[in-house]
Amino acid sequence: MPLNKYAPQANTHRRTQSAILAGTKELIATVGLAKMSMIEIADTSQVSRATLYNHYRDKDSVIAALCESEIYRLIAIANSAPNAIDALELLSIQISTDIALAHMRIHDPAPLASALAATANPLWAALSDALAVITGSQVVADLALRWLVGQVLQPLTPDDSRLAAELLISRANI
């Protein structure tokens, strides 16, 4: 049986998208959302402008794809943890140490607040559902999600991440 002749194209497509999203995150961490342009995204991602526009129609669609990618990355990290405490600790550390979020706290607070308030977005449901499976409870998942959102604005140290995760799970299981 012949191999899928489109497989190499699909791999190239995924690599290009990954490069674009990584470049976008790097730009958010250095220049911020307001000062970032599609030209800069293409240059930082090392793709042509035509390639960038073949994948995304505008900066907002790139940002939306980056948000989706980041949420699913966090879900994968949480799912790889052996238990709920470790999952929450890993998520807390990822959120608290993210340099793009750190830059946004200072330079792009309005779009950051808007994104955090968009709880009707399906990405919030995906993260909540994953946390419910990990914690064994939708109530604990909702509490954990609010705790993690708080860390976007007030990051924790790695040690505090562990202590707070342990406290959250132990109090929830009372």
List the CATH number of the domain containing 92: 1.10.357.10
Residue-level pLDDT at 13: 72
pLDDT greater than 70 at residue 2 = no
pLDDT greater than 90 at residue 75 = yes
pLDDT tens digit string along 102-112?
999 999 999 99
User: Shortest CA distance to 30 belongs to which of 135, 129, 103?
Assistant: 103
How many domains is the chain partitioned into structurally? Answer: 1
pLDDT greater than 70 at residue 12 = yes
- The domain containing residue 108 runs over which residues? 7-172
User: Shortest CA distance to 165 belongs to which of 81, 67, 71, 102?
Assistant: 81
User: Shortest CA distance to 114 belongs to which of 122, 104, 126, 103?
Assistant: 104
Q: With contact defined as beta carbons under 8 Å apart, do 31 and 53 qualify?
A: no
Secondary-structure breakdown of the chain: helix, strand, coil percentages, each rounded to the nearest 5: 80, 0, 20
Question: Model-level pTM?
Answer: 0.89
Q: What percent of the chain has pLDDT over 70?
A: 93
Mean pLDDT for 74-100 is 97
Tokens of 163: 């202590």
Q: With contact defined as beta carbons under 8 Å apart, do 32 and 107 qualify?
A: yes
pLDDT confidence bin for 14, thresholds 50/70/90? confident
Residue-level pLDDT at 10: 65
20 versus 171: which is more confidently predicted?
Answer: 20
In a domain, 2, yes or no: no
In a domain, 1, yes or no: no
Task: Name the helix (H) or strand (E) containing 84.
Answer: helix 84-96
Mean pLDDT for 49-56 is 96
Return all residues near 72 (Cβ < 8 A) that are at least 6 apart. 126
